[in-house]
Amino acid sequence: MKLNQFVLLGVTSVFVSVLPFSGITVGVSANPSSNAAVAQTRPAATMSGTFVTAEKPTTGMARIVTENGHRYLEFDSAFSTSEQGPDLHVLLDTAQTAPMTYENPGSYVNLGKLQKFSGTQRYPIPDAIDLADFKSVVIWCRMANATFGYASLGGGSNASTR
């Protein structure tokens, strides 16, 4: 839990905290007569997709969310991929269907090493990235140049990607 802000309402202080990974901000008042939530927000999902197998079984869902002006790639609790990759990375790719190997480093953005083989995780997306250019999320073994799995991204026509 991290301290987000203090808000003064008359003589009552309100402590606002951010719950880890839940995306919900809840306010709790020190005054029992004013226990209304100060702010309650959920990250706005702009794009999402379900993982499919390429070289190795990969399952779960990926979604791109915007929270407090920053964009993140999130994997849900059902995410899972093979533990056989010695050097797995998370990519954003310009193709809807990811290639089995990569020859052109200009067709993707590497968001970093895979944090864990299964479960929820979150990767910040740099502000300079125009998400309109990217169509899928890829789990890629850099050492073997092999795509383990990918999720084609889709979203509403009014979804903001920048």
- Say how many CA atoms lie within 13 Å of 43 toward its Cβ: 23
Token look-up 């850099």 returns 142
Q: What pLDDT is stored for residue 104 in this prediction? A: 84
Q: Which two tokens stand for residue 38?
A: 């100060």
Closest CA to 49 of 133, 112, 122, 135: 135
Choice between 69 and 19, residue whose per-residue pLDDT is larger: 69
What mean pLDDT comes out for the span 10-26?
37
For residues 87 and 140, what is the distance between their CA atoms, to the nearest angstrom? 8
For residues 15 and 6, what is the distance between their CA atoms, to the nearest angstrom? 5
Q: Which two tokens stand for residue 109?
A: 């953005």
Per-position DSSP letters for 15-69, written without gaps between them: EEEE-TTT--EEEEESSGGG---S----PEEEEEEEEEESSS--BSEEEEEEETT
Choice between 128 and 28, residue whose per-residue pLDDT is larger: 128
Q: Per mean pLDDT, which range of 23-37, 68-82, 85-99, 141-155 is the poorest?
A: 23-37
Closest CA to 113 of 142, 92, 93: 142
Q: What tens digit of pLDDT does each residue of 76-110 get?
A: 999 999 999 989 999 999 999 999 999 988 899 99
Q: Which two tokens stand for residue 68?
A: 């407090």
